[in-house]
Structure 1
Amino acid sequence: MNSRFRVAVDVGNSSIKIAYAVPQNAADGDELRVVRVSLTGSDWQPQLAAITAEFPQTDLSVQWLIASVNSVGCDRLSAWIETHRSADQVRVIDRGHVGIETDVRMPQRVGIDRLLAAQSAFRLAGNRSAIVIDAGTTVTVDLVAAPGVFRGGAILPGLGLQFRALHEATDKLPRLEPPDDLASLESPGRDTQAAMELGVASGIVGAIDRLVESFQSTCDVSQIFLTGGDAGRLSPAIRSPHRVVVDMPLRGLYGIELADPSSP
């Protein structure tokens, strides 16, 4: 990592998150800056140009590490880098780079974001078993067991996806945005909006707590981590003791060790 200026990019379903180190004073070391660019708008390319213009001036070559669950978004980003920053090196990270074993039926179908989050959780737990909850477009609840084996987990629709489905699949239900405070919703809900909010929140939070209980019955879990865009909304409502860590897949990607960083 010391021969290149590293840029880590997590390409999700609706946005890309970019992480790079901002040099600080010698006592503090480098700070990791994380920025988000929406893929749903038309101005993502100017945003990306503005971000790269702020990269620290350095003699090091620039290395982009890209992990993606969105092949179209990944292709668009790679094409932009090739066009506008042709001297930079691009490496699309796959499961083999993550350095975590898998104990699932079809390991080739596990999303790279889930593996990176699991690896981050295992490291943060001091190389002990952990559960990681990633709350974004979808909510994943995954188990990583000592000595660093991804054991699988559960996938369910996230807050925004559930509210959107209720609106689009029915004639009368309104389009709602997830409420900020899920811990103090009206119960029972006494109007349509309150009932929808309570139903969606209870379904997700209840599922998380139930899954945590189930996983803990099969493994001695040392810590539970919560990450993702909706972590702040969900955290106060989740009963299981947990720790909120921002951008776990992205930070895991930034810290990944590549056996041969000069290889294609």
Structure 2
Amino acid sequence: MSSRFRVAVDVGNSSIKIAYHPPGMTADASDLRVVRVSLTGADWQAQLADLTSAFPQSDNTVQWLLASVNSVGCDRLSAWIETHRAADRVRVIDRSDVGIETDVRMPQRVGIDRLLAAQSAFRLAGDRSAIVIDAGTTVTVDLVASPGVFRGGAILPGLGLQFRALHEATDKLPRLEPPDDLASLESPGRDTQAAMELGVASGIVGAIDRLVESFQSTCDVSQIFLTGGDAGRLSPAIRSPHRVVVDMPLRGLYGIELADSSSL
């Protein structure tokens, strides 16, 4: 890894997550600080300015690594860095930087977040086959097979997206937020809210369990990992034994080994 002060940024659909080691602390994984900044808030630039005020100021000292599934958000962040931290170096990570092979029909269309999560899962599994479930705006369930090959997976709407769709596509259904406890929902649901919560939760959890079973039938899976903003909600309801790991794509990005660091 480069000796520069590294800042890894996962640019998502609604927010950015920033990982770095605070100045003066050891570069140990347990010391990695993660900060979330909403791109939809009016004060996101002020939050960035406050966060980066403690970063080194010397030329070429700070190395930003950006991984994005949101090109508009990535452009906004890059422009902010160029304007407010002109001495820093910025690199937008692409698929070739991740260092994982792909066995899919259109590898150029696989989200960088899925590849980073798969790479993290493979490393955490001791370079053995693994399944990684990333539960955010969307839910992805992906398989990475030994010797480190991304085999693809499934994408479905996440909890918030499904509740929003039910409200916006109908005249009568209310706008709901995902419940915190998906393992203890009323069944059958005896009012509209309970029925919606049960339907959405059962659809997502049932899909995850079914996909895990399907992937396990094709590959000797050593571990299953769950990450993403809704991991805490989903974990108690998922039947398959799994391990919750916070911010897997972001941590994978922070630890990435770049073949050509001189371009940063």
Match of 1:223 in 2: 223
Q: 1:176: Cα distance to partner?
A: 0.1
The 2-side partners of 1:31 and 1:73 are apart by: 27
The 2-side partners of 1:178 and 1:19 are apart by: 26
Match of 1:202 in 2: 202
1:21 and 1:30 in contact (8 A); partners too? no
Match of 1:70 in 2: 70
Q: Would the alpha carbon gap of residues 171 and 259 (structure 1) be closer, same or farther in structure 2, given more than 3 Å must change?
A: same
Q: Would the alpha carbon gap of residues 74 and 257 (structure 1) be closer, same or farther in structure 2, given more than 3 Å must change?
A: same
2:60 and 2:87 in contact (8 A); partners too? no
1:226 and 1:242 in contact (8 A); partners too? yes
Match of 2:187 in 1: 187
1:5 and 1:60 in contact (8 A); partners too? no
Over the matched positions of the two proteins, sequence identity in percent amounts to: 90
The 1-side partners of 2:26 and 2:206 are apart by: 46
Q: How does the TM-score come out when normalised to structure 2?
A: 0.96
Structure 1 residues 43-71: Cα deviation after superposition (integer angstroms, max 9, x where no partner): 11001111111336789700000000000
Match of 1:239 in 2: 239
1:23 and 1:30 in contact (8 A); partners too? no
Q: 2:172 aligns to what SS in structure 1?
A: coil
Q: How does 1:30-179 map to 2 (within 5 A)?
A: 31-55=31-55, 61-179=61-179
Amino acid at match of 2:152: G
Is 45-54 or 163-172 further displaced after alignment? Answer: 45-54
2:140 and 2:156 in contact (8 A); partners too? yes
Q: 2:47 aligns to what SS in structure 1?
A: helix
2:5 and 2:63 in contact (8 A); partners too? yes
Amino acid at match of 2:223: Q
Q: 1:262 aligns to what SS in structure 2?
A: helix
The 2-side partners of 1:76 and 1:234 are apart by: 32
Q: 1:41: Cα distance to partner?
A: 1.2
1:22 and 1:56 in contact (8 A); partners too? no
Q: 1:3: Cα distance to partner?
A: 2.2
Q: Would the alpha carbon gap of residues 181 and 83 (structure 1) be closer, same or farther in structure 2, given more than 3 Å must change?
A: same
Q: 2:261 aligns to what SS in structure 1?
A: coil
Q: Would the alpha carbon gap of residues 54 and 213 (structure 1) be closer, same or farther in structure 2, given more than 3 Å must change?
A: same
Q: Would the alpha carbon gap of residues 39 and 203 (structure 1) be closer, same or farther in structure 2, given more than 3 Å must change?
A: same
The 1-side partners of 2:30 and 2:60 are apart by: 16
Structure 1 residues 92-124: Cα deviation after superposition (integer angstroms, max 9, x where no partner): 000000000000000000000000000000000
Q: How does 1:22-33 map to 2 (within 5 A)?
A: 22=22, 31-33=31-33
Q: 1:22: Cα distance to partner?
A: 2.4
2:2 and 2:261 in contact (8 A); partners too? no
Q: 1:263: Cα distance to partner?
A: 1.4
List alignment gaps of at least 5 residues for structure 1: none
The 1-side partners of 2:107 and 2:227 are apart by: 22
Q: 2:139 aligns to what SS in structure 1?
A: strand
The 1-side partners of 2:27 and 2:12 are apart by: 34
The 1-side partners of 2:140 and 2:103 are apart by: 17
The 1-side partners of 2:96 and 2:28 are apart by: 32
2:60 and 2:89 in contact (8 A); partners too? no
The 2-side partners of 1:130 and 1:231 are apart by: 17
Q: How does the TM-score come out when normalised to structure 1?
A: 0.96
Q: 1:2: Cα distance to partner?
A: 4.2
The 1-side partners of 2:57 and 2:42 are apart by: 28
Q: 2:96 aligns to what SS in structure 1?
A: helix
2:68 and 2:113 in contact (8 A); partners too? yes
Q: 2:184 aligns to what SS in structure 1?
A: coil
The 1-side partners of 2:11 and 2:57 are apart by: 25
Is 209-218 or 25-34 further displaced after alignment? Answer: 25-34
Match of 2:19 in 1: 19
